[in-house]
């Protein structure tokens, strides 16, 4: 049984959110480690915005629906 279009869009959104969230946490951990070792200028990343999540979800959708 296939998924409905609503479920597919939700899955694309969740995949994009998870990917960007994982990337954010990796960058945050890197910044925290740099700060522990005295790098005062280590940049703390911003959490992904909804616009960034939707843009990545659209890219994933386009890739997944290629024939």
pLDDT at 1: 65
Average pLDDT, the chain: 93
Give the number of domains in the chain: 1
Q: What is the mean pLDDT of residues 35-47?
A: 89
The pLDDT tens digits of the residues spanning 8-39 come to: 999 999 999 999 999 999 999 999 999 999 98
Contacts for 13 with CB less than 8 Å, ≥ 6 apart = 53, 54, 57
- Which residue range is the domain that position 20 belongs to? 5-36+44-64
User: What band does 42 get if pLDDT is binned at 50, 70 and 90?
Assistant: confident
Statement: residue 67 has pLDDT above 80: no
């Amino acid at each position: 049984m296939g998924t409905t279009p609503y479920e597919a869009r939700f899955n694309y959104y969740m995949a994009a959110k998870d990917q960007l969230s994982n990337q954010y946490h990796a960058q945050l951990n890197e910044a925290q480690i740099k700060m522990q070792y005295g790098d005062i200028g280590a940049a703390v990343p911003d959490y992904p915005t909804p616009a960034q999540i939707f843009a990545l979800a659209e890219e994933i959708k386009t890739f997944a629906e290629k024939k």
